[in-house]
Structure 1
Amino acid sequence: MNDRAPAPGGLALIQELVNSVDLATGADRLDTEEGRSAFGLTRRDVPGARELRESLRAACLAHAGHPPHAPVRELSELLAAGPLLVKVDAASGTASLAPADASALTARVASAIAEALISGTWARLKACEAVTCRWAYYDRSPAGRSRWCDMGVCGARAKMRAYRARKKG
């Protein structure tokens, strides 16, 4: 929906998952074989992936200071199904968190969130304020206070609605 660059690192996976449905049209990439394969999912995995997607969207909305879009399961509960392992490189001694099951979407999402927490980027993955959009985007603004996925579309529409409301009142 927007022209912003993808989120950095593992957040790109989360951004892609959240944006796998177009709320305006209802088109859901998880309904297609190609869309499912992009996330390593089978048809049987789709209900869980959708639940994860909407809990992630709620977290992204919270990052932008918006209320949840719908009742969702706690993201922490869902991520508990995706355990992480601490991996230590024998040669360098560096440590990292990695999914216990690299093929499981929930574990890959948990790993991406852990990576983003360490790098300080997790809170910059947000969801658009526009009710008909809710697209996930990475906020690269200096102050980190962006509200819309695209200022030229969703932001302009919101500002125009506010302007018209002021003119009426």
Structure 2
Amino acid sequence: MSERSPAPGGLALVESLVNTLDIETGADSLDTADGRARFGIAEEELPLARELRESLRATLLAHAGHPPHGEVTPLGRLLAGAPLVLDVDERDGSAALAPADGGTLLSRVAAAVAQALVEDTWTRLKACEADTCHWAYYDRSPAGRGRWCSMRVCGARAKMRRYRAKEA
């Protein structure tokens, strides 16, 4: 949907997971073996992956100042069960949180969120305000006040609706 470039670092994982569901068409790439393989998800892990996706979407909507699109498990509750370890690079002494359990989706997302918090980029990952979209995007605008995944699509539709409402 978006013409934007992917989110930086581990946030690209979060962005791509949220964007596995096209709300407008209902197409869910996690329904396919290839879609699940892209995230290392076994079929039995699918319910948790979908729950995580929708909790992330609700959080990204909040980052953009929008209410959640439905009831979801709070993201903090889901990520609390993700085992992380402190990984220290012996060459340069840099440190980061890393998945402790071999890299389950939950732990990889938790590590990405932790790193984004350190880098102060977490709240720049948002969800489009359009009700038929809610696509995740990384807001690179100087003021951090982006509202739509695509100005050419969702932004243009919203502006046209406002214009028509004024004319009516």
Shared fold, TM over 0.5? yes
Cα root mean square deviation, aligned: 0.9
Distance across 2 between alignment mates of 1:129 and 1:91: 44
Gapped regions of structure 1 (runs ≥ 5): none
The SS at the match of 2:126 is: strand
How much has 1:96 moved relative to structure 2?
1.4
Structure 1 residue aligned with 2:98: 98
Structure 2 distance, partners of 1:154, 1:94, is 40
The alpha-carbon deviation at position 80 of structure 1 amounts to 1.3
**Shift of the alpha carbon at 1:103?**
2.6
> Which residue of the partner structure matches residue 68 of structure 1?
68
Partners in 2 of 1:130 and 1:48 — Cα distance?
Answer: 25
**Stretch moving more, 136-145 or 98-107:** 98-107
Q: CA deviation at 1:8?
A: 0.3
Mapped to 1, the partners of 2:92 and 2:126 lie a distance apart of 35
| Aligned residue number for residue 147 of structure 1 | 147
Which residue identity is paired with 1:32? T
Q: Is the 8 A contact 1:102 1:108 kept in 2?
A: no
Instruction: Give the deviation of 1:16 after TM superposition.
Output: 0.3
The 5 Å alignment of 1:2-151 reads 2-151=2-151
TM-score, scaled relative to structure 1: 0.97
Higher mean displacement: 61-70 or 82-91? 82-91
Write out the 4+ residue segments of structure 1 that deviate beyond 6 Å after TM superposition. none
Offset, 1:91: 3.7
